[in-house]
Structure 1
């Protein structure tokens, strides 16, 4: 039987101990079969188990193998496209519901960490850093937008204020979200998996779903076993492949790249990010960075459309890091990795149901740490017959990428180039 290990990354190298989980080799029955042991699947399973459902999770590789275990580790509120885009895309009641949920994911993460004693280096505070006056005006509008939906944890930072939180000359100001934060993402996934098992849930690793027999009693097949369930939840995101053909045309896997430096001197680390906040800039193709628990700078950015792995990740990301922090010249890069996320054309999540008993959520579009935890809650609500919030997400319109699957990556890359040029000239 094939075995897929974690890809090399700082997170895999510093992960908490976890049990070796068996592959499925039998026929089992359950209430809900969840496909994918990333944040969406784990969050869904936890909420369902807490409500008394029996749950089996099928994971193609290992818990948190995909984006959940490789991302930048930042707790960022709202969605990849903000609430004003949602308001333009759907009805007023649906926009109200989705807007209210924009700040719930971080709360769910903190509640899970506290309830299940998850060791994942949780730290509070996230900064949006502006490189020009246009971006500052955008942040002021974003603050007003979020406050209109009842969120009151934002603080504008002027030129001196941004210098107090990040030691870079690139930024003219920013906005601090006291409700943001950062975590060790793989350890969060591992902790949530342990919580799932503590409630009686079963996780099979190295068990990719290869076929779903859809019908009144769906059956999910792996190479050596099958799960018969009342409901199926598809939570594979960028690693789903063609398992559910209806979901493939309106989404595209994309890759993002991250590096981690060698551990920094304590004094140097403290000067870079004195309050230990995480930071992301306001560019369309944004950079993001933070300190790890052992004082490495974790720095990410860039998008590869179509999810190809670059030959030399460090050569892509390190110049970005040194542009932000030239004082790190000479500091070694010890880890460099890539991971895939799933993007929709609207950059809003794709949520819905098929056949009355198959539910899905995907397409976080690079903004998934918080959203996936909300998704798990609304899917669990829908399975209990409380579908108002699920239906609000399902009402968001989604369209195929122009050019179909063959041309979606190059056309998206051209669009991104346009916005990247706009970032550079500041208009």
Structure 2
């Protein structure tokens, strides 16, 4: 039962440029606490920090290292809202749910910025991201996107059409772009490491290399690791794509998906500015989207593609280089210094899954590619519901958690088939 975890971070650009962080011990023996958090990524560390700030005794169990999963490997983009936007939520789940979620759609971004400022976290935080349209249909979608977000009070948007896109992206590929001046990008591993240090500064304890092999529900909940156990009044399950089957009730209702990222060798500063003149992060509007940005040392970080089921391609650079070259043809032979992949967790309706099991096991997962901001919101909502303020958490918990058709066996081929359909539509511009 349970997954085997490597002892170290994957060999990514982020791991190579991570701020110094202590080696944390594995759990040995038995520990009692108010709240045990399983998973030291954005969701778990955000929840732990909100709880520790309230004076609650928190123990965090991490199977590998802090930020080992998607939190330390993602594109580093601060993108507002959710993987499905408020119009879809309203159509499928009603006006009240859309209004509740809409009121929180830009909060994760604000939480990140509050954390960075309050705890003085060095994570290369930059302002601004944009959605780039590859064709007229996508540009029409961006106009609608702008109107939708403005309806929910988000005004820091600017639509660029035609040649105006060149102000932000030095590529011929796009016919329009929607700039979100409130968004941004950062070094995600350093963000989660900085917040983990903040948790410890408030008395929280983090154990690394302590995968949970068994969860025994009850009062208290018991969590078993290879060399110890934790007895906790309440538990936060924040393992996301790395949770495996610890919670059987959730196992068939989400799917790990792999995404691939490369980072080039450092570019001349003038060259970097030609690519992204105002240092914004970019994602295109395709169903299987490309995304890219500059790092603080002027590398181009470029990601894209999805592997359903989370398997790694044999050669990540070979998967991403053609995408990079299509966007920036004169970088087609640029040296690639780092290439890595990681899993995020996708749900069938692309909306996050929040809930409570047995009255004292809380979970939040399945951000479907919008995890950087939504995970930080999840941490706050978990802390709220534990202190008796449940209406905001319940707005998410009320969303249906749909099983993938055909269960675990068929979810990968069926999702891949769906992706092929959407990729074909993107390619044809329909």
Q: Is TM (by shorter chain) over 0.5?
A: yes
Structure 1 residue 3: Cα displacement: 5.8
Structure 2 residue corresponding to 1:157, chosen from 143, 157, 160: 160
Task: Describe the SS at the equivalent of 1:175.
Answer: strand
Task: Describe the SS at the equivalent of 1:108.
Answer: helix
Contact 1:261 1:333 in 2 (8 A): yes
Task: Describe the SS at the equivalent of 2:182.
Answer: strand
Count, aligned residues: 427
1-structure distance, mates of 2:409, 2:295: 38
1-structure distance, mates of 2:190, 2:403: 35
What is the aligned partner in structure 2 of residue 306 from structure 1?
A: 309
What is the aligned partner in structure 2 of residue 420 from structure 1?
A: 423
What is the aligned partner in structure 2 of residue 64 from structure 1?
A: 67
Structure 1 residue corresponding to 2:359, chosen from 356, 360, 364: 356
1-structure distance, mates of 2:65, 2:314: 24
Are 2:31 and 1:28 aligned?
Answer: yes
Structure 1 residue corresponding to 2:117, chosen from 114, 117, 125: 114
Runs of 4+ in 1 over 6 A off after TM superposition: none
Task: Describe the SS at the equivalent of 2:419.
Answer: helix
What is the aligned partner in structure 2 of residue 135 from structure 1?
A: 138
Structure 1 residue 26: Cα displacement: 1.5
Structure 1 residue 130: Cα displacement: 0.5
Q: Over aligned residue pairs, what C-alpha RMSD do you find? A: 1.0
Structure 1 residue 97: Cα displacement: 1.1
What is the aligned partner in structure 2 of residue 318 from structure 1?
A: 321
1-structure distance, mates of 2:358, 2:94: 25
Are 2:377 and 1:379 aligned?
Answer: no
Contact 1:113 1:119 in 2 (8 A): yes
Query: After the TM superposition, which of the residue ranges 119-128 and 396-405 deviates more from structure 2?
Result: 396-405
2-structure distance, mates of 1:406, 1:329: 38
Structure 2 residue corresponding to 1:41, chosen from 40, 44, 50: 44
Contact 1:276 1:291 in 2 (8 A): yes
2-structure distance, mates of 1:7, 1:194: 21
2-structure distance, mates of 1:368, 1:113: 17
1-structure distance, mates of 2:310, 2:287: 18
Structure 1 residue 2: Cα displacement: 8.1
Once the two structures are superposed, the pairs formed by residues 17-416 of structure 1 within 5 Å of their partners are 17-416=20-419
2-structure distance, mates of 1:234, 1:128: 32
Contact 1:181 1:277 in 2 (8 A): yes
Structure 1 residue 388: Cα displacement: 0.2
Structure 1: stretches of 5+ with no match in the other structure: none
2-structure distance, mates of 1:364, 1:295: 29
Structure 1 residue 250: Cα displacement: 0.4
Structure 1 residue 83: Cα displacement: 1.1
Contact 1:259 1:314 in 2 (8 A): yes
Contact 2:223 2:230 in 1 (8 A): yes
Contact 1:121 1:293 in 2 (8 A): yes
Contact 1:89 1:396 in 2 (8 A): no
Structure 2: stretches of 5+ with no match in the other structure: none
